[in-house]
Structure 1
Amino acid sequence: MKPALILLHGALGAVQHFDSIATVLEDQYTVYRFNLYGHGGTPLPAAPLRIEAFTGQLIDYIRSQNIGPAAVFGYSMGGYIALQAAIQAPDTISRILTLGTKFDWTPDVAAKEARTLNADFLREKAPAFVNQLAEFHGPSAWEPLLPATVGLMEALGQRPLLTPETVTAVDIPVRLMVGDRDHMVSVEETLGIFRSLQNGSMVVLPETKHPIEKVNKAVLIWEIRSFMTL
C-alpha cells in the first residue's frame, strides 16, 4: 500500500494549486486533497474563518478517510494548519513538510498583509490573480473570501497559535521550507520556529518567491520525496 500524503493549500488557494505535482507524486503515494472551508467553490461558513476551524477540518478529514497518521505537505497557511493539527491531535499527523508558511504574526503584520486583499486594488494591480481567484472559487465567491481572510489574519495578529514556545510540543519530523526571495515569509522567522522543533529540519530554496506557481516544480517534488523517505 502506498503511503498517504495530504497536499494542503494556503489562504485563497485551492486543490488546483497542486495539479502539476499531484500527478507525479501519485506514482509513489496515495495523494489526498481537499478544499478548506470557503475555498475552491465550497460555501463560506457563517462563522468567521479561523485557523482553529481549518485545523478541525483537517483532523476530521484524516479520521473520516481512515488514513491517520498521515504525512502532510502544507503550502503557506496549509503548513500552519498542519502544525496546529499536530499539536491538537498528534495521532493524526505522522510528518509535516511546509513551504512558505508565515509564523511572524502581529497586528502590524496582519494589517500590512490585509491592505492588499482588497477587490478593487487587486483588479487594478493584479488582474491575473483576480482571474485565478475567480477560476478557483467562482466568479461571485472570490470577493467575499477576501474580507473573511483578512479577519483570519487579524485574529492571528492578535493571538498567533504557533510560536517558538508552542511548537516544542511537536515531536514528529517537520521540515520547513522557505524561498530566499519570499517577500511575505522571512528566512529569520522560519529559522526561529525551526530552532524550537524537537525533530525539525529546514531548507532554503534558491531563487524562489512565495507564490507556489513560481516554485520550481522539479525541486519541490524532489524535496517532498526526500522528506517522505526519511
Structure 2
Amino acid sequence: MSNKKDLILLHGALGSKSQFVQLSDLLVNDYIIHAFDLPAHGELAYQSDVLSMYSFVNYVRNYILKNNLQKPLVFGFSMGGFVALALQSQTNIFSKIMTLNTKLKWDYETAIKEQKMFDPDIILEKVPHYADMLISIHGSENWKNLLTKHKELMLTIAESTPLSDDALSKIDIPVLLTRGDKDSMVAPEETPAFAGKLKNAVYYEFQNTSHPIEKMDIGLLYNKIKEFLT
C-alpha cells in the first residue's frame, strides 16, 4: 500500500491540466497526482456556458468525494489557487494549500483592466501565437466563448468575492501563498497582505519569476512544493 499523499493540481484561467505535465513528471515519485481540467477548460471546454467560480469549486469538491480522497494536499496556479482557497473556506476539505501567482484582490477597476487581456480580437491581432495555443487547448469552437465567460467572471468576483475577510477567517490549515517577483498581474503588496489575513499562512516570493507557469523554473517550484506540502 502506497504511503504517498494525494496532491491535487489546479490550473489557471484559460489553462488546462497540460500546464502541469513537466511538474507532474517530477512530483509523481513523491505524491499521488490528481491533475484534471476544470469546467469549460481543455477536455471540458464544451461546458463554457456554465463557467463560474461555483462550478469550479463544486467540480473539485465532487472529484474529491468521488475518489474518496482524505484531506488531500493542493497546489493551485493563478485561478486554481483562488478555487482551492474558496473551497477550503466552505468545506475544510484540504490538509494544506499552496498557491502560485494567484490574484486574490479584485475590485471593479481591476476587473476592467484585466478584461482587456481577455479580448479575442486583441489577442488575435497582438499575440496570434497565444490565440493558436488557446485554440489547441480549448478548440476553435470554444475559445472565444471561454474568454467572454472569464470576463464576466471577473466582474462577478469583483462585485462579491468568495474570499471575503469572513471566508478567509474560516481557513485555519497551513497555507503557503507564493508569487513571482516579476508577476505583472499580481501586485507586490497583494499576496503578503492576504497571507496576513489567514490564521496559518506564510508568504514566499520566487526570484526572477513572471506570471506564466510555463516560464517558471520547474525545479525551483518542485523543491518548494516538496518542502511545504508534506
TM-score (norm 1): 0.95
Report how far residue 193 of structure 1 moved: 0.8
Q: 1:58 corresponds to which residue?
A: 60
Q: Pick from 74, 85, 88: which aligns with 2:87?
A: 85
Q: Pick from 20, 23, 30: which aligns with 2:22?
A: 20
C-alpha distance in structure 1 between counterparts of 2:89 and 2:155, whole Å: 22
Cα contact 2:108–2:155 (8 A) shared by 1: yes
Aligned AA for 1:148?
K
Cα contact 1:72–1:82 (8 A) shared by 2: yes
Cα contact 1:98–1:177 (8 A) shared by 2: yes
Q: 1:190 corresponds to which residue?
A: 191
Aligned AA for 2:11?
H
Percent of residue pairs bearing the same amino acid type:
35
Aligned AA for 1:9?
H
Matches within 5 A, 1:149-168: 149-168=150-169
Q: Secondary structure at the match of 2:118?
A: coil
C-alpha distance in structure 1 between counterparts of 2:23 and 2:193, whole Å: 29
Cα contact 1:178–1:186 (8 A) shared by 2: no
C-alpha distance in structure 2 between counterparts of 1:115 and 1:228, whole Å: 35
Aligned length: 227
C-alpha distance in structure 1 between counterparts of 2:73 and 2:100, whole Å: 14
C-alpha distance in structure 2 between counterparts of 1:29 and 1:38, whole Å: 27
TM-score (norm 2): 0.95
Report how far residue 15 of structure 1 moved: 0.3
Report how far residue 164 of structure 1 moved: 3.9
Write out the 4+ residue segments of structure 1 that deviate beyond 4 Å after TM superposition.
none
Matches within 5 A, 1:99-114: 99-114=100-115
C-alpha distance in structure 2 between counterparts of 1:100 and 1:68, whole Å: 26
Q: For each residue in 1:70-106, what CA deviation from the matched residue of structure 2 results, as whole angstroms up to 9, or x when unmatched?
A: 111000010000001111111x211100001101100
C-alpha distance in structure 2 between counterparts of 1:10 and 1:45, whole Å: 15
C-alpha distance in structure 2 between counterparts of 1:186 and 1:68, whole Å: 34
Q: 2:96 corresponds to which residue?
A: 95
Q: CA RMSD in A?
A: 1.1
